[in-house]
Amino acid sequence: MIGAPHGDYRVSRGVDPAQLRAVAELFYGPFGRKLSGVLLPRRQEAAIRLTASALCPGEVYAAMDHDGVLMGIAIVRGRAPVLCPCRADVVDAFGRLSGGLRWLVYSLAVRRARPYPRSTRSIEGLVVRESSRGRGIGTAMLERIIEDARLEGAHELELVVGDTNPARRLYERVGFTVIKRGGVGPFARRFGFKELLTYKLQLVTRDAWQALRAEGAAR
Ligand SMILES: CC(C)(COP(=O)(O)OP(=O)(O)OC[C@H]1O[C@@H](n2cnc3c(N)ncnc32)[C@H](O)[C@@H]1OP(=O)(O)O)[C@@H](O)C(=O)NCCC(=O)NCCS
């Protein structure tokens, strides 16, 4: 874990596995109820347990204060496009029949989904504790994610957000632009938005990337 200090907090990439529960709790705040009964079980405790079990510690960015209290989290994926818990955890969360069926659907979806190319990173969730919002923590986490992706040679970052989410302003401020819109149909009322927007941030153009590689090879 490497942390960059920002006054009273630091942004780290990767968390201790023992912190996954706290990460899942923070994630549950804004997203839990929207996903409950769909991707997550209705009971809060079961939903948090399932989320924690589906997370990989290396994919979590965390903003922590100096006492180790989580102030914000972001989940960044390189290849797998969906959360992917193991069968036993899904059965444990939804019960044998419903869990078994959901597991089948999850597995088919994972098999069908095209893995992201190595050059794309996906931000699957960015959450700052309510009492800590508006102090630049979300921006600092995004900047760290962008910097890491650039250093690792990624071409682009992607994320999906509801059209009514005020976080759009933050994403647009750091340079993300909308590349796709898709309606959510009957889920509009529950989600509180009608469309999901896919945003992309181009880190370096393909031509520029190839030129850089050629330059490196020539040295
Ligand atoms: C979006 C979020 C991560 C921003 O974190 P933050 O630490 O408050 O962000 P910053 O302080 O760096 O920047 C604040 C910007 O976020 C926007 N914002 C979005 N929701 C906000 C909120 N509830 N409170 C304050 N600012 C919010 C503001 O427009 C502000 O932009 P501005 O500075 O241009 O006015 C945070 O509001 C949050 O956790 N929201 C709930 C979860 C969510 O919707 N996540 C995004 C979808 S994945």
Torsion-angle region of 199 (φ positive above 0: left; ψ -120 to 50: alpha; else: beta): beta
Are 104 and 59 in contact by the 8 Å Cβ rule? The answer is: no
pLDDT (0 to 100) of residue 5: 64
Q: Which residue has the least CA distance to atom 30 on ligand 1? A: 170
* Of 185, 200, 193, 173, residue with least CA distance to 31: 193
Q: What is the pTM of this model?
A: 0.85
The pLDDT of residue 1 is above 50: no
Inform me whether the pLDDT recorded for 61 exceeds 60.
yes
Q: How far apart are CA 1 and CA 88, in angstroms?
A: 29
d(CA 109, CA 89): 17
Q: Does any ligand 1 atom lie closer than 6 A to the CB of residue 128?
A: yes
178 close to 213: Cβ distance less than 8 angstroms: no
Ligand 1 pocket member 165 (CB < 6 A): yes
The answer to whether residue 126 scores a pLDDT higher than 50 is yes
pLDDT digits (tens, 9 = 90+) for 106-124: 778 777 666 667 788 999 8
Can you give the residue ranges of every domain in the chain? 2-155+203-218
> How high is the pLDDT of residue 75?
93
With 60 as the cut, is the pLDDT of residue 214 above it? yes
Distance 82 CA to ligand 1 centre (A): 23
Question: Does 2 have pLDDT greater than 60?
Answer: no
Is 2-155+203-218 assigned to CATH 3.40.630.30? yes
Half-sphere exposure of 204 (CA within 13 A, CB side): 18
